[in-house]
Amino acid sequence: MRLAGKKVLCLVDEEFEDLELWYPIYRVQEEGAVVHLAGPVSGKSYTGKYGVPAKADFAFADINIDEYDGLLVPGGWAPDKLRRYPEVLAFVRRMNEREKPIGQICHAGWVLISAKILDGRRVTSTPGIRDDMENAGAIWLDEPVVVDGHLVSSRRPPDLPAYAKAFCDRLAGV
């Protein structure tokens, strides 16, 4: 229970990648952290690409990001929607300023691109957005997980074990 007392915010919107949302949530909870899901509308159930639902505990507007120790951004098609919300970009920028762990997997890199926090940072993502990541100034690596300070990035579902462990390690201060 090395994450007891920690709070993590996970972002959600329609068509998130089911495993990329739920696997890290369960892993963080197994270590003792509390996880809240935030979406555009509080209490709304959002549907993943493969039909698994996720109900938002809070709306973006209800969140004080300073109350959280980490941020998880799932992949799928949701990141293309998430990056359009000013609150989401503010969350990412604030967590980056505070050097709190930010986990992003697959297409979630789009959110970090739109928050403009990737210049000079080492990251990975799905190879499909490699050009986007590099055009944002990132140094893109084709590895299962890349940790650059407080940023933890991963490529796709087969990399989830390494990604979730690395995120938990960062959250624990390891």
Dist CA 164 CA 169 (whole Å): 9
Strand partners, 140: 123
Q: Which of 107, 155, 156, 170 is catalytic?
A: 107
Question: Which amino acid belongs to residue 17?
Answer: E
Give phi and psi for 127, each to the nearest 5: -55, -20
CA distances, 132 to each of 23, 54, 119, 125, 159 (Å) = 25, 28, 12, 10, 21
For residue 158, give both structure tokens.
């087969």
Q: For residue 33, give the nearest of 167, 153, 128 by alpha carbon.
A: 167
Our answer to whether residue 36 is catalytic in this structure is no
Residue 79 CB neighbours (<10 A)? 31
**Under a CB-based contact definition with an 8 Å cutoff, are residues 65 and 95 in contact?**
yes
How far is Cα 81 from Cα 105, in angstroms, rounded to an integer?
15
Catalytic residues: 107
